[in-house]
Amino acid sequence: MDLLNTLVDKGLRRETPTRAEALAVLATTDDELLDVVAAAGKVRRHWFGRRVKLNYLVNLKSGLCPEDCSYCSQRLGSKADILKYTWLKPDEASRAAAAGLAGGAKRVCLVASGRGPTDRDVDRVSDTIKAIKEQNEDVEVCACLGLLSDGQAERLREAGADAYNHNLNTSESTYGEITTTHTYADRVDTVRKAHAAGLSACSGLIAGMGETDEDLVDVVFSLRELDPDSVPVNFLIPFEGTPLAKEWNLTPQRCLRILAMVRFVCPDVEVRIAGGREVHLRTMQPLALHLANSIFLGDYLTSEGQAGKADLEMIADAGFEVEGAGEVTLPEHRTGGGCGSHEGSRCGSHEGGGVCGTVPASAPAASASADEPRPDLVAVRRRGAGTDLAPNA
């Protein structure tokens, strides 16, 4: 396909595809799927080889959130039967993190529900970061605490945080349909605060919430403009008890096309398969490793994931290798003087690759074939952080 040859060439040059080209990836047929995966795989291997970075989530505070994000099991008014607990103590969080690190993770993601941290919360998380790094000097720590106030990103960096996650989730034009208690602009502001503080910015999306192809392309192009170092791609987990419980819009093929589109638009960025991969990719998960260079190991915030041992076997069986603690994830042009060394306020550059192209007015929105609901695959997390049971790592 001429389209795929063009996208590979642009990806190897770090040049942004047009919006029409990104839409065309999402509109490819199932007969073309392996060609799409192979093409995006060339870009992935060019920048990241066959390495897979492992990340591990620690949910510092679960449930009881005042925000109304429709996709979230921890939201205000959620009836999902999830674990609910207040802040873990630093030593508890450090023990939880140690399980993931022992399983091969090189980054620990510290997450807490809520609109955003108070200054006291930043102190708590700072103590937790220090406790983790005292035991594991080389570990990367990413914080995900919601909307940041002025000065909080700098304090987290001083405490030893390497990165900050705050996802855009969906397009600006549809954001108000998903969340009403804060705005899309609030989220963009927090990503920029992380950048300005010298933290490696991590920001991604959630697919499967009923969005159009145009919405997906819009949010990925917005992410490219924000220039995060890592882009987590979540696939909606339709928790019973949340407003989106009936949204089963994804097939494994659809998920692969989305990951391929993200890789073409963000060729030299860490693309991470995040929540929902087991639910929606299922037996196609190994193919997704040809598109993404990063995954979460084990369980997620409120749902159980694939067994950590199975993750490691999947990576090996697919011909990939776990990225070691001493290896640098990002290509050299993104780490030299950037977030890898905490100098400067920008991470890498996109020479010749600003946000370009527009969606033709006549371009139709490709609709995904509805996936069969599989609530049996949505398992609430009952182990690990906040419980007395051993974590899955």
Which amino acid appears at position 362 of this protein? Answer: S
Q: Is residue 18 part of a domain?
A: yes
339 has catalytic annotation: no
Distance, in Å, from the CA atom of 287 to the CA atom of 189, rounded to the nearest integer, reads: 35
- Is 144 a known ligand-binding residue? no
142 has catalytic annotation: yes
Distance, in Å, from the CA atom of 44 to the CA atom of 40, rounded to the nearest integer, reads: 6
Full DSSP string of 223-285:
HHHH--SEEEEEE----TTSTTTT-----HHHHHHHHHHHHHHSTTSEEEE-TTHHHHTGGGH
**Sign of the alpha-carbon torsion through 307, 99, 200, 302:** positive
Q: What is the CB-side half-sphere exposure of residue 245 using CA atoms within 13 A?
A: 12
DSSP character at residue 195 = H
Q: Among residues 14, 19, 44, 65, which one is catalytic?
A: 65
Q: Among residues 157, 187, 254, 272, which one is catalytic?
A: 272
DSSP H helices in 70-169:
90-102, 119-135, 152-159
Q: Among residues 14, 19, 44, 72, which one is catalytic?
A: 72
- Is 255 a known ligand-binding residue? no
Q: Is residue 345 part of a domain?
A: no
Assign residue 281 the CATH number of its domain: 3.20.20.70
**Sign of the alpha-carbon torsion through 118, 200, 316, 233:** positive
Q: Among residues 142, 144, 266, 347, which one is catalytic?
A: 142
Per-residue pLDDT reduced to its tens digit, 307-331: 999 999 999 999 999 999 889 999 9
Distance, in Å, from the CA atom of 282 to the CA atom of 376, rounded to the nearest integer, reads: 12
pTM (two decimals): 0.90
Per-residue pLDDT reduced to its tens digit, 69-92: 999 998 888 888 888 999 999 999
pLDDT in the model for residue 50: 98
Q: Which two tokens stand for residue 127?
A: 């103590």
pLDDT < 50: residue spans in the chain: 337-368
Task: Count up the domains in the chain and report the number.
Answer: 1
pLDDT in the model for residue 376: 86
Q: Is residue 392 part of a domain?
A: no
Question: How far does the chain reach from its first CA to its final CA, in angstroms?
Answer: 41
pLDDT in the model for residue 365: 39
CB of 219 closer than 8 Å to CB of 170: yes
Distance, in Å, from the CA atom of 259 to the CA atom of 166, rounded to the nearest integer, reads: 19
Q: Is residue 230 part of a domain?
A: yes
- Is 356 a known ligand-binding residue? no
By residue range, what is the domain housing residue 31? 2-327+354-377
How much of the chain is helix, strand and coil, in % rounded to 5?
A: 40, 15, 50
Q: Among residues 14, 44, 109, 277, which one is catalytic?
A: 109
Angle at CA of residue 189, ends 208 and 351, nearest 5°: 80
Q: Is residue 339 part of a domain?
A: no
272 has catalytic annotation: yes
pLDDT in the model for residue 95: 94
Per-residue pLDDT reduced to its tens digit, 140-188: 999 999 999 999 999 999 999 999 999 999 999 999 999 999 999 999 9
pLDDT in the model for residue 370: 61
DSSP H helices in the chain:
2-12, 19-26, 33-48, 90-102, 119-135, 152-159, 175-178, 184-196, 213-226, 252-265, 277-280, 285-288, 308-317, 332-335
Q: Is residue 386 part of a domain?
A: no
- Is 266 a known ligand-binding residue? no
Q: Among residues 14, 69, 124, 334, which one is catalytic?
A: 69
Q: Is residue 246 part of a domain?
A: yes
